[in-house]
Structure 1
Amino acid sequence: MNRLAHHQGIHKFFMALGLALYFSKPVMKHLVHLVDALTTKGFSGTLTDIHHWSFHPNHRTTLSHFFTKSPWNEEKLLEKLQEWILRQIERLAKRKNQPLFLSIDDTICQKTKPSSRAAHAMQGCNWHYSHKDHQMVWGHSLVWLMVHTFTQAFPFAFRLYDKAAGTSKIDLAIEMLSSLKGKLAHPVYVLMDSWYPSKELIEACLKQGFHVIAMLKTNRILYPKGIAVQAKLFARYIEPQDTRLVTVGQERYRVYRYEGAIHGLDDAVVLFAWKADQPMTLEHLHVVLSTDRELSNEDILRYYAQRWTIECFFRQAKDQLKLDGYRVRHIRAVKRYGAVVLPSCVYSIAESQQTLSAGLELLRSRKGHSVVEFIYDAAKQDIPIDVIKKQLHVA
């Protein structure tokens, strides 16, 4: 390993996770270099960049082998990382007496559709509907789970959604949530947008003692007085005088509270909410479900607003860590790339004790100092400049 101070910091973090018990020194070295490259400003997602930005001493082809053929266990890396995250987040929630949030959502890593003549197309790609682009796009769809409090958030797990495998995104979400069974003592709220709150997923959450707060589609069936009616039709009969004004952050909402059965649940709270400065029409309507009937209208909306954390993570992970920038073709390599993005995020957050952005800023500043110190120390030891240049990949 290069004698660079910022590499020692990453290595120390991996030792704190207990990875030395499971991984060889060469694997640990690769992981340190990968996290260094991913957190470097200007990184684009390629193996060439990883090799260059992390001052990797081995040939670039060793990185390709590491992602596709090397026998290291990425599941063990994620498992040890998750144990560490849960310890941090539980301690924080306990200290501040806050609930824990689990946010579920998916994002698309868009790729270029290969020509029919392409000999080695990227595995696992398919057409997925992009809500951002309002059209079908080609690429990989990843379902992510985040663990957070009001003040701290960590990406926790992900699954690659494969249309051909016949496993739905709901199945993947249930699988990730089940890995938390019996591990969380705090009140837990699972947050999701309107694509996820199916009967199966809600039941899976409740079975684990987790409550659900989710946006509902306006065609969800409610049963006021036992009569089946779509939420959007029910909303037509709500008058302004039936609502209460609720303030969440900087926004004020007109809220009507429904308590009773909905499709898939015998007993729930459903809030019909409109921004106070907008007309009470269908296009401005938000329908929010809470399985916790004890929560106030304010708390339901305040808790649901925390779901924005996962949207911010997707944007930052793509912009800053190039979550969607990889060019590896093998499906195993794609999963391993995601498995390296995750500790890069967590290390950044852990070092700054703040946000991913603040962490990356700190790590990039630290790296700059580390490289200058390395050159200074090498010069003091009369190491030839050509050797220094070679080690820092500027030869």
Structure 2
Amino acid sequence: MPDIIIEQSQEVINYINMLKLPISGALKNHMVHMISGIITTEGNKNISNVYSRLTCNRNRSSGSRFLGEYKWSNEYVDYKRINHSLKTVRENVPEGTVGFFIVDDTLSKKDNSTKKIEGLDYHHSHSDGKTMWSHCVVTSHYKISEYSLPLNFKLYLRKQFFGQKAKKLFKNKQELAMQLIDEFTPVTETTYLLVDAWYTSGKLMLHALKRGYHTIGRIKSNRVIYPGGIKTNIKEFATHICSNETCIVTAGDDNYYVYRYEGKINDLENAVILICWSKKALSDTPAFIVSTDVSLTTSTIVGYYQNRWDIEVSYRYHKNSLGFDEYQVESLTSIKRFWSMVFMTYTFLELFRVSKKRSLKLETIGDTIGYFRKQYMVCIAKFAYSCAEKGVSLDDVVAKLGVAA
């Protein structure tokens, strides 16, 4: 009976080779194997399941050594992946295209009984409305033209994790976001930083301006503004606005009633704040959006901000389809390497999706994952047919595939 269940995906092999990583062929094969396994594995994506998808020669211990013991730098692999992505975008996107650099954070939640995994702590979950036992990861994402690409990630660790070295090593989430901004090299001349209300501090927005990026983001209702030179917060100010002072802005399928404030805020001498309601009577709770680029029209600011949703969509695919939360390794080295492989998998899928969008009708990452899973099933059928030709019994084929008869 053949040892290999299916041949490695040539598309994945080509992608790894294009990164020109200065690593051994064995390590490259591990990367190809893990990416292919992450894509084709349905259900839980622990290392055993991922490695058993393509061959029964490798097992959990082989994957664990790749993530925890072998000598390679996930930071350098991420650097090469990001550079290749941006080079691909640069070659395919017109120079005048506006790009959006998006920063946010997400939680990788674990069961409370999980104590041996390094770096876990209780972090506030916005979706759950309470603290959750988890890793907190600050990430960056790039949206430009048809491309929506994950870039980099930084693990947020609380100050006590570093002990006596905390003063030197600890970075809060704002500082990690600024690191991500510093590491990014835009493809085109105009790039906007898109963030939610947790990252629109004056310090971060000024840092982005120094790097050449205007910020568009949500802000909290207690932000101080100075209409007519009078100090107040935007929540209080919003209560005095009448519906005839707003304009209608359409974003996607939704209409918003928007009031535009332009002037000083407590962090910047001049900025735009949009106060947005979804009801004409202004009876619902408004949302507040800030833009440091005062030259943009109200509708453009709202339209640009809609692109921030891409990072939320990416989190959903990372977790629901690519196993971002499903690691069972314990060391931070192994965890970061696993995340690096998940980010590489997503990047490969997105570049493939854009390149084959029309010929294969791939609109989403979900479509692309579905395409490769169908290809995998074709390979399984070929494997079974090959075994039948060689006289291999059905029981042996079933055992080889690791499925129940």
Q: Would you say same fold, with TM above 0.5?
A: yes
Unaligned runs of 5+ in 2: 163-169, 355-362
Alpha-carbon distance between aligned partners in 1 of 2:41 and 2:65, rounded to the nearest angstrom: 25
CA gap of 1:17–1:310, structure 2 versus 1, over 3 A, is same
Alpha-carbon distance between aligned partners in 2 of 1:233 and 1:209, rounded to the nearest angstrom: 33
CA gap of 1:37–1:3, structure 2 versus 1, over 3 A, is closer
Partner of 2:381: 372
CA contact 2:48–2:59 (8 Å) conserved in 1:
no
Partner of 2:111: 112
CA gap of 1:90–1:186, structure 2 versus 1, over 3 A, is farther
The count of corresponding residues between Structure 1 and Structure 2 is 384
Unaligned runs of 5+ in 1: none
CA gap of 1:383–1:262, structure 2 versus 1, over 3 A, is farther
Alpha-carbon distance between aligned partners in 1 of 2:62 and 2:227, rounded to the nearest angstrom: 63
Q: Match for 1:141 among 121, 132, 136? A: 136
For 1:31-60, what per-residue CA distance to the aligned partner results, in whole angstroms no more than 9, with x for missing partners? 111111111242413122122223252342
**Shift, 1:188, TM fit:** 0.4
Partner of 1:358: 367
CA contact 2:261–2:274 (8 Å) conserved in 1:
yes
Q: Match for 2:175 among 171, 176, 185? A: 171
CA contact 1:33–1:56 (8 Å) conserved in 2:
no
**Shift, 1:322, TM fit:** 1.3
- For 2:214, the aligned partner's letter is H
Partner of 1:268: 271
Alpha-carbon distance between aligned partners in 2 of 1:62 and 1:6, rounded to the nearest angstrom: 17
Residue 326 of structure 1: SS of its match in structure 2?
A: coil
CA contact 2:271–2:292 (8 Å) conserved in 1:
yes
Q: Give the TM-score of the pair, scaled to structure 1.
A: 0.90
**Shift, 1:186, TM fit:** 2.6
Alpha-carbon distance between aligned partners in 2 of 1:276 and 1:327, rounded to the nearest angstrom: 47
Alpha-carbon distance between aligned partners in 2 of 1:254 and 1:222, rounded to the nearest angstrom: 20
Alpha-carbon distance between aligned partners in 2 of 1:346 and 1:285, rounded to the nearest angstrom: 36
Alpha-carbon distance between aligned partners in 1 of 2:56 and 2:334, rounded to the nearest angstrom: 19
Partner of 1:68: 68
**Shift, 1:292, TM fit:** 1.2
- For 1:292, the aligned partner's letter is D
Alpha-carbon distance between aligned partners in 1 of 2:190 and 2:383, rounded to the nearest angstrom: 48
Q: Does 1:180 align with 2:213?
A: no
Partner of 2:261: 258
For 1:239-258, what per-residue CA distance to the aligned partner results, in whole angstroms no more than 9, with x for missing partners? 11111111111111111111
Q: Give the TM-score of the pair, scaled to structure 2.
A: 0.88
**Shift, 1:393, TM fit:** 4.9
Alpha-carbon distance between aligned partners in 1 of 2:227 and 2:334, rounded to the nearest angstrom: 51
Q: Does 1:348 align with 2:380?
A: no
Q: Does 1:238 align with 2:241?
A: yes
Residue 328 of structure 1: SS of its match in structure 2?
A: coil
CA contact 2:141–2:150 (8 Å) conserved in 1:
yes
**Shift, 1:146, TM fit:** 0.5
Residue 324 of structure 2: SS of its match in structure 1?
A: coil
Alpha-carbon distance between aligned partners in 2 of 1:129 and 1:351, rounded to the nearest angstrom: 35
**Shift, 1:291, TM fit:** 1.1
- For 2:10, the aligned partner's letter is Q
For 1:376-395, what per-residue CA distance to the aligned partner results, in whole angstroms no more than 9, with x for missing partners? 45666x48569877765569
Alpha-carbon distance between aligned partners in 2 of 1:83 and 1:392, rounded to the nearest angstrom: 37
**Shift, 1:261, TM fit:** 1.1
Residue 280 of structure 1: SS of its match in structure 2?
A: coil
**Shift, 1:102, TM fit:** 1.1
Q: Does 1:154 align with 2:157?
A: no
**Shift, 1:2, TM fit:** 4.2
Alpha-carbon distance between aligned partners in 1 of 2:219 and 2:295, rounded to the nearest angstrom: 19
Q: Which stretch has the larger CA shift, 138-147 or 85-94? A: 85-94
Alpha-carbon distance between aligned partners in 2 of 1:383 and 1:24, rounded to the nearest angstrom: 37
Residue 262 of structure 1: SS of its match in structure 2?
A: coil
CA contact 2:384–2:397 (8 Å) conserved in 1:
yes
Alpha-carbon distance between aligned partners in 2 of 1:195 and 1:45, rounded to the nearest angstrom: 31
Partner of 1:296: 297
**Shift, 1:357, TM fit:** 0.9
Q: Match for 1:211 among 210, 214, 220? A: 214
Alpha-carbon distance between aligned partners in 2 of 1:11 and 1:206, rounded to the nearest angstrom: 40
CA contact 1:261–1:268 (8 Å) conserved in 2:
yes
- For 1:15, the aligned partner's letter is N
Residue 105 of structure 2: SS of its match in structure 1?
A: strand
Partner of 1:88: 88
> Root-mean-square deviation (CA), in Å?
2.3
Alpha-carbon distance between aligned partners in 2 of 1:345 and 1:27, rounded to the nearest angstrom: 19
CA contact 1:191–1:304 (8 Å) conserved in 2:
yes
CA gap of 1:2–1:205, structure 2 versus 1, over 3 A, is farther
CA contact 2:41–2:50 (8 Å) conserved in 1:
no
**Shift, 1:92, TM fit:** 4.2
Partner of 2:205: 202
